[in-house]
């Protein structure tokens, strides 16, 4: 089953729900960045949230950025997503190794440490929307739920999970976001809370072979669940040589001359996908001449 997001509503449209399976894109990110298991879990959870929140955007050109920053050894994770649920991301430190937490799980909160979550929505206006919350758990799902509730005033439930194989590749990944819109009755909300407190973890449900549609049916099936559509999602970086050239140009003539005089090819790496772009002294010379 390739990665996708199911979009649905329930309770007369007063609830909206998204559920995603994202194993392939998280595994792709793991391989790109050669992440340790705890970093794979953090990056995978944020990529999954990014894919879903990307798909929530209204216009084609809208761009969402999620930034986790913390005092822990991983320092941070950055994810961006477009309205087509194309997502990309990178950790600041990819090889963090930590002992399991008290529940025997990958210690994502420990890797991030105390810090903040920033949500940037660039809708092509003069200033992007920026919302920031302090991390309340560091496990990401709770932090995002807190962000939606406090910053956007939309009470939300968020579940995110990444399950590793014994060889540290990604076995399962996915997530869900369920939101109570204005008009959702207290009865609907408390019923939903009850359902959510009884379901197993995201990765457990996926590992049992449940599809996102079946997971939403388990939670909202008796609340007039309406599946609206299926949105494909994937890891996609839009870097290319031209963009990297612009980075070189931004260094200025003096710096480019210095690199040329060193007589060695220069390597530049894309943060998001780790692709390496090499520029020979001759190519640098051509850029220099154009300036």
272 in contact with Zn ion (CB under 5 A): yes
Q: Which residue has the tokens 């009884």?
A: 198
Shortest Cβ 88–Zn ion spacing (Å): 7
Q: Which two tokens stand for residue 223?
A: 């609340």
Residue 122, classed as helix, strand or coil, is strand
Q: Which two tokens stand for residue 182?
A: 């204005």
Shortest Cβ 45–Zn ion spacing (Å): 21
145 in contact with Zn ion (CB under 5 A): no
15 in contact with Zn ion (CB under 5 A): no
User: Given candidates 239, 244, 256, 284, which one binds Zn ion under the rule CB under 5 A?
Assistant: 239
Shortest Cβ 238–Zn ion spacing (Å): 7
Residues 6+ apart with CB under 8 A from 74: 38, 39, 42, 91, 92, 93, 96, 111, 112, 113
Extract the runs of DSSP E, i.e. beta strands, from 165-262: 170-180, 226-232, 234-235
Q: Which residue has the tokens 């440490």?
A: 113
Residues touching Zn ion: how many (CB under 5 A)?
6
Shortest Cβ 44–Zn ion spacing (Å): 18
Helix, strand, coil share (%) of the chain residues, nearest 5: 35, 30, 35
Shortest Cβ 86–Zn ion spacing (Å): 12
**Shorter beta-carbon distance to Zn ion: residue 29 or 160:** 29
From 5-13, 91-99, 225-233, 237-245, span contacting Zn ion (CB under 5 A): 237-245
79 in contact with Zn ion (CB under 5 A): no
Residues in contact with Zn ion by the rule CB under 5 A: 237, 239, 270, 272-273, 275
């Amino acid at each position: 089953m390739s990665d996708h997001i199911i979009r649905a509503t329930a309770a007369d449209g007063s609830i909206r729900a998204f559920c995603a399976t994202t194993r392939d894109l998280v595994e792709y990110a793991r391989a790109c960045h050669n992440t340790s298991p705890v970093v794979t879990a953090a990056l995978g959870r944020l990529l999954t949230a990014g894919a879903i929140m990307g798909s929530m955007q209204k216009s084609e050109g809208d761009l969402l950025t999620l930034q986790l920053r913390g005092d822990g050894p991983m320092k941070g994770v950055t994810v961006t997503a477009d309205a087509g649920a194309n997502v990309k991301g990178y950790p600041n430190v990819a090889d963090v190794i930590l002992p399991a937490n008290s529940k025997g799980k990958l210690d994502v909160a420990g890797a991030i440490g105390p810090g903040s979550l920033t949500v940037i929505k660039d809708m092509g206006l003069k200033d992007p929307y920026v919302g920031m919350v302090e991390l309340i758990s560091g496990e990401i799902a709770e932090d995002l739920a807190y962000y939606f509730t406090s910053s956007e005033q939309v009470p939300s439930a968020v579940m995110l999970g990444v399950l590793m194989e014994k060889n540290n590749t990604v076995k399962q990944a996915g997530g869900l976001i369920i939101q109570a819109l204005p008009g959702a009755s207290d009865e609907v909300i408390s019923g939903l809370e009850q359902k959510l407190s009884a379901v197993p973890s995201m990765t457990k449900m996926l590992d049992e072979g449940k599809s996102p549609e079946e997971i939403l049916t388990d939670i909202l099936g008796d609340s007039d669940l309406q599946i609206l559509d299926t949105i494909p999602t994937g890891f996609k970086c839009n870097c290319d040589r031209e963009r990297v050239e612009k980075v070189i140009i931004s260094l200025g003539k003096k710096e480019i001359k210095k690199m040329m005089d060193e007589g060695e090819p220069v390597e530049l790496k894309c943060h998001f996908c780790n692709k390496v772009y090499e520029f020979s002294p001759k190519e640098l010379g051509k850029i220099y001449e154009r300036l």
